[in-house]
Amino acid sequence: MGTSYGAFAMDDRFNTFAGWALFGGIVALGLASLSSRYFQADKNHRPHKMGYEIEGVVASEGGSKVESIAARLAKADPTKGQATFAKCASCHTINQGGANGIGPNLYGLVGEAIAQGRGGFAFSDALKSKGGNWTFDNLDQWLTSPKAYANGTKMTFAGIGDGQDRANLIAWLNTQGSNVPLPAAPAEGAADADKADPAKADAGKDAAAKPAEAADAAAKPAEGTAAGGKK
């Protein structure tokens, strides 16, 4: 009888402990769920995959259109570009005959074929497939976002968001063994003014036409006199 009672009491204690343990687990789970909802509520979250501007679409910075690379190169400061290159120096050398590092040596890069040469550097297939040369425009796109320019590239650098910083860097790179003539800056003023005010453009055309009309009018009496003399 005593043995049976002891066994019963032990089972009862075990069930009590098990019940409290289960209850504690449920409470902990509930508190964790509530705290998660509280701390995450009304919070803006970074997307899992950041977007980027599609190649061929006019890029924008701060809601404004970016000037063409030609316009930015016209006012570029190579000295500032050299300072910007400090971001690249951990992976690239730029001295003539310099060794490749994590990235290729960049001496004389501007104007050369994309993903070729460079002392046998192992370029990614994504960059090799681009073809063409490192023109000023291609370099500008590449430095904006390497992954957007050549999806699958080995380069992990995120890019340079400021358009003028990119132009400064490209201008400096051009002084390092390339010296490719800079593109002409787009003309400003007359053409843009005519587009903005068609009336001025029409007035200009009329003014240009008047000297020709006056010359025709002066020529007609002379023709008549000559004809009368022949008679």
137 falls within a domain: yes
154 falls within a domain: yes
Grade residue 55 by pLDDT with cuts at 50, 70 and 90: very low
Largest pairwise CA distance in the chain: 160
218 falls within a domain: no
- Per-residue pLDDT at 160: 94
| CB contact burial 174-194 (16+ within 10 A = b; e otherwise) | bebebeeeeeeeeeeeeeeee
- Per-residue pLDDT at 11: 62
pLDDT more than 90, % of the chain: 44
- Per-residue pLDDT at 14: 66
Grade residue 6 by pLDDT with cuts at 50, 70 and 90: low
- Per-residue pLDDT at 38: 52
- Per-residue pLDDT at 165: 96
Spatial distance between the Cα atoms of 143 and 160, rounded to a whole number of angstroms: 6
120 falls within a domain: yes
Grade residue 87 by pLDDT with cuts at 50, 70 and 90: confident
131 falls within a domain: yes
In this predicted structure, the answer to whether residue 170 has a pLDDT above a threshold of 90 is yes
136 falls within a domain: yes
Choice between 223 and 91, residue whose per-residue pLDDT is larger: 91
87 falls within a domain: yes
pLDDT more than 70, % of the chain: 59
| Number of independent structural domains in the chain | 1
> In terms of Cα–Cα distance, which of 7, 136, 164, 8 is closest to 80?
164
- Per-residue pLDDT at 193: 46
> In terms of Cα–Cα distance, which of 168, 210, 193, 204 is closest to 80?
168
DSSP string, 177-195: TT-PPPPPPPP-SHHHHHH
Helix and strand numbers, DSSP H then E, in the chain: 9, 2
140 falls within a domain: yes
Spatial distance between the Cα atoms of 101 and 103, rounded to a whole number of angstroms: 5
- pLDDT tens for 105-133 read 999 999 999 999 888 899 999 999 999 99
CATH of the domain at 146: 1.10.760.10
The pLDDT of 25-36, averaged and rounded, is 70
Residue 82 structural domain: 68-175
pTM score: 0.56
Average pLDDT, rounded, for the chain: 74
Choice between 128 and 26, residue whose per-residue pLDDT is larger: 128
